[in-house]
Amino acid sequence: MTAAVSQPSLRMTVLAGLALAALFMLSLAVGVSPLPLGRVLSDPDALQLLVVSRLPRTLAAILCGAGLAIAGLIMQTLSRNRFVEPATAGTAQSAELGILLVTLFFPAAALPLKTLVAGGAALLGTSVFLATAQRLPPAQPFLVPLFGIVYGGVVGAAATYAAWQADLLQYLSVWTNGDFSGVLRGRYELLWISALMVAVAWFVADRLTIMALGREASVGLGIDYARMMQIGLVIVSVITALSVVVVGMIPFVGLAVPNIVSRLMGDNVRGTLGWVAAGGAGLVLACDIAGRLIRYPYEIPVGTVMGVVGGAIFLWLLFRRGTHG
């Protein structure tokens, strides 16, 4: 990894802002029921549809996308490997297992309690992954994502087996494939905690950049490596758990966006953090809109659309060399 960063031009910044704003407005307008944005203030039904459904869904997509992209960036920094993210390293699967366990033992648990247990399970699962990944040969970087896929598969299989035993397989499917169709006012507000986690990531961004140089170099430069590792794990686990609990698993966001931004701008976390967040928000928002239009008026879950789009981006990343790092 390199610490250099290429600053985007003002024109590129303006175009990115306009593209995100256009996706925001398109997300508000697209749906089964027509929503004439020009008559929102004069039509009570249109205003209610906007406030209760379209605006919460759009904000949820932005918060999930930005949070998962930042979680992927931090996870790649901690593991010093560009091919890991929460959905391919056991973090999301551990969160699913946590939700399932709290559902089995406390069926009437409120959403915050489920989120808390899912966050704890994600933290434990991510810690095991990173502790094992650091023991793998550094000369073979592809072993880390390969181990992550196997590890996530084992944790996911344990969750599926437990759900099968308890006749909760259909219930489990809600968390294994991300879907914004059920997001309404009052059911997405926990995602604002993801924005708080992104703010924490911004606060420690410089120390995360130094951590990408490795344990010895970080300690030599005065970084409390163990404490920063704990902070990074908490950020990744909380964001992933919130996303899984509220909308389900959305793959490849934390893998594709940080890699694309890194290839264009370098590896300085503070310099790329805003672009990674905006890129994740825009990618998830675009995939959610596409899922609403492909089989209109029916919907394809955003997790399915993102699986296809993210898989294509992942293959492109594998076969195309970057200009940085």
User: In this predicted structure, what is the pLDDT of residue 2?
Assistant: 47
Beta carbons of 251 and 24 less than 8 angstroms apart: no
User: Three-state DSSP class for 145?
Assistant: helix
Mean pLDDT of the chain: 84
User: Three-state DSSP class for 266?
Assistant: strand
User: In this predicted structure, what is the pLDDT of residue 321?
Assistant: 59
* Structure tokens that stand for 18 in this block: 């306009």
User: In this predicted structure, what is the pLDDT of residue 138?
Assistant: 67
- Report the range out of 46-50, 102-106, 266-270, 303-307 with the highest average pLDDT: 303-307
Say which residue, 10 or 20, is predicted with more confidence: 20
The residues, any chain, with a CB within 8 Å of residue 239's CB and separated by 6 or more, are: 67, 68, 70, 71, 86, 194, 197, 198
User: In this predicted structure, what is the pLDDT of residue 291?
Assistant: 92
Q: What are phi and psi of 299, to 5 degrees?
A: -125, 145
**Region of poorest pLDDT, from 29-38, 92-101, 174-183, 231-240:** 29-38
**DSSP-assigned letter for residue 50:** I
- Average pLDDT, stretch 256-276? 87
Q: Residue 34: is the preceding peptide bond cis (ω within 30°)?
A: no
pLDDT tops 70 at residue 183: yes
> For residues 280 and 1, what is the distance between their CA atoms, to the nearest angstrom?
21
**DSSP-assigned letter for residue 33:** S
User: In this predicted structure, what is the pLDDT of residue 325?
Assistant: 46
Give the number of C-alpha atoms closer than 13 A to the C-alpha of residue 202, restricted to the C-beta side.
13
pLDDT tops 70 at residue 6: no
- Report the range out of 142-146, 245-249, 285-289 with the highest average pLDDT: 285-289
> For residues 297 and 225, what is the distance between their CA atoms, to the nearest angstrom?
51
The residues, any chain, with a CB within 8 Å of residue 149's CB and separated by 6 or more, are: 88
Which band of pLDDT confidence, cut at 50, 70 and 90, is reported for residue 26?
very high
- Average pLDDT, stretch 202-223? 84
pLDDT tops 50 at residue 136: yes
- Closest C-alpha among 178, 155, 152, 151 to residue 249: 178
pLDDT tops 70 at residue 324: no
User: In this predicted structure, what is the pLDDT of residue 48?
Assistant: 87
Which band of pLDDT confidence, cut at 50, 70 and 90, is reported for residue 62?
very high
Q: What are phi and psi of 31, to 5 degrees?
A: 170, 175
pLDDT tops 90 at residue 222: no
Percent of the chain with pLDDT over 90: 20
- Closest C-alpha among 41, 39, 91 to residue 238: 91
- Average pLDDT, stretch 100-129? 84
Which band of pLDDT confidence, cut at 50, 70 and 90, is reported for residue 322?
low
Strand (E) or helix (H) holding 287: helix 269-293
Beta carbons of 246 and 232 less than 8 angstroms apart: no
